[in-house]
Amino acid sequence: MKEILYLLLFVSITAFAQIKKVEPPFWWTGMKNTELQIMLYGDKIAKCDVVMTNGMTALDVFKPANPNYIFVTVNAANQNAGTFDILLKDGKKTMYKYTYELKTRAENAASRKGFDSSDVMYLLMPDRFANGNPKNDSQPDMAEKANRSFDSGRHGGDLQGIINHLYYLQELGITALWSTPLLEDNEPKYSYHTYAQSDYYRIDPRFGSNEDYKLLADELHQRDMKLVMDYVTNHWGSKHWLIRDLPFPEWIHQWPDKDGFRRSNYRMTTQFDSNAAQTDAEACMNGWFDTTMPDINQSNPIVLNYLIQNAIWWIEFAGLDGLRVDTYSYNDKESIAVWTKAIMDEYPNFNIVGEVWMHSQAQMAYWQKDSEIGAIEHYNSYLPSVMDFTLHDAVSILFDEQNKFSWQNEGIMRAYENFSNDFLYPDINNILVFAENHDTNRINQIYKNDFDKYRLAMTLIATVRGIPQVYYGSEIGMDGDKNKGDGDIRRDFPGGWEGDSNNAFTQAGRTAEQNQFFDFTSKLFQWRKSKPVIHFGKTMHFVPENNVYVYFRYDDNDTVMVVINNSDQDQTIEPKRFAERIRDYKKGKDALSSVSVDVTTTVSVKAKSALVLELEK
């Protein structure tokens, strides 16, 4: 009987003191962010006292209303790599010991160089790209199982599938990879997109492991390529373990409506509209993005510090080269600026691009670092890069307007008018330019797989200022209709699954049409890789005539003349009109056809075609 009582007491103490989660699970020495907030989670652990060993002292111990949490802040400044113990004590008894490690940083970790306008970024959805390890398609601890027959189900694409096909991205001319989120998403359905994340320190096991993610970064770096993480600050998933047992109610925005849910009004302009009602601004920032996506309260300092440390942890752990931040302009704008600045202070040469899905250049420019528009109300987001949604809006229309051309912003004038507002951006080279992404209609759907229109769109994206982004599959002519649902614009890449009848990853496996699309795209972006004049040069454009747009990219050493004929008729242009930039150049070599063109006389441009002329004397 005595032995049984001792056993019950031991079991009780063990259960009482069990630590289930420690986040971040480890850290590094030599970080600028020296005050480290460590979150401990376990059943009723707040009843314990916290004691540190090895000379480490707690600057602060915060025990929230939920007794399952303790937040311990320690000073990691001037600490050597090694370990210290976090002891949870009940009086003199040590109920639990967690050995915390401070690791040595990788060489030059702080000075890592982020993506920039010399890069071409490839956006893919990992579940839909390639299945490199069919054994991980379904997992016992994950609610949703693989079902490739359902267009919105899990299809099995994973990290190994991406690694297996990096050669394909190299052949295409890609230098940076942006994958939609890879962190765990344990929603029971529609979890494949992974924007409703359930664990911020764990790669979804259906994609692989944390080490697999680090391997992807290493494999990219060996090929002189970069990895960009899709990061979500605005909302988490409803199945996040922390959401299901909140440390304190203020961790998320809760409304008096049923289940604390109220959908965002999505009116991002209320963030800076001087006429906006405060209630509308709160409905945008604090409303939930969707029913399964609780809105995170970044204005709480504990929450904000959690998000800052988590982003830095992934950058340091995986060796990331950039972040793409989802729904950036839905966050509390003051808090997201603190988050962004903290990361950029830690990594001064890093890059972060924010999704600011607005339809005005002034409104988008507001969110870029050092914006004079933001400065009007003394606001600075510290966000280095934004996405050029107004160019996307124009590109998704203008190439179907071959017979429309007017001062009312039709045809190629849409592009001209977009670039005429470049003066609004404080750093015009550091914006992401794209024809489509995972949330928009596919460009080949819009233009009905018209190869000529695809060529015009990609030529524009590749040769204007900024960082071009390509959406997976468009380079082989993939289409997809958003009106049929998101699953249709996120189809499986052909050849990514064993048994696929069409393997578009290889020249031999592609159809003639797929090779036509691929060969053009590869030639265009391979050419761009070695052209600093396109990466960082200045722009001069001329008012379009007859639906023909002429612009120049130039620097002290080179000049490239781009002619885009959006008309369905052959056109001629008179070089004298462009003497301001042609100057004493005599000819130009077309990067797309290698044909030499005399630029001292009339230049002919075929209908629905482009010239990219490297000018020569």
- Return the active site residues: 326, 355
* Helices of type H across 474-588: 512-529, 532-536, 579-582
Reading the block at residue 21, the tokens are 């989660």
Please state, as a whole number, how many other Cβ atoms lie within 10 Å of the Cβ of residue 4. Answer: 8
Q: How far apart are CA 492 and CA 484, in angstroms?
A: 15
Instruction: For tokens 């972006």, name the residue.
Output: 525
Beta strands in 91-193 (DSSP E): 93-103, 121-124, 176-179, 183-184
Q: Count how many Cα atoms sit within 13 Å of the Cα of residue 37 in the half-sphere of its side chain.
A: 16
Q: How far apart are CA 458 and CA 229, in angstroms?
A: 24
User: 496-532 burial string, b = 16+ CB within 10 Å, else e?
Assistant: bbeebeeebbeeeebeeebbbbbebbbebbbbbeebe
For residue 78, give the amino acid letter.
Answer: N
Please state, as a whole number, how many other Cβ atoms lie within 10 Å of the Cβ of residue 273. Answer: 13
For residue 404, give the amino acid letter.
Answer: K
Strand partners, 232: 326
For residue 316, give the amino acid letter.
Answer: E
Q: Are 476 and 446 in contact (CB under 8 A)?
A: no
Query: What is the Cα 516 distance to its own chain's centre?
Result: 29
Query: What is the Cα 405 distance to its own chain's centre?
Result: 35
Asked whether the CA dihedral 17, 18, 20, 21 is positive or negative, the reply is positive
Widest CA span in the chain = 106
Q: How far apart are CA 227 and CA 14, in angstroms?
A: 42
Which backbone phi and psi does 88 adopt, to 5 degrees? -105, 120
Query: What is the Cα 3 distance to its own chain's centre?
Result: 58
| Residue in 43, 42, 101, 52 with CA at minimum distance from that of residue 72 | 52
Interior angle at CA 215, CA 214 and CA 217, nearest 5: 65
* Helices of type H across 191-277: 210-222
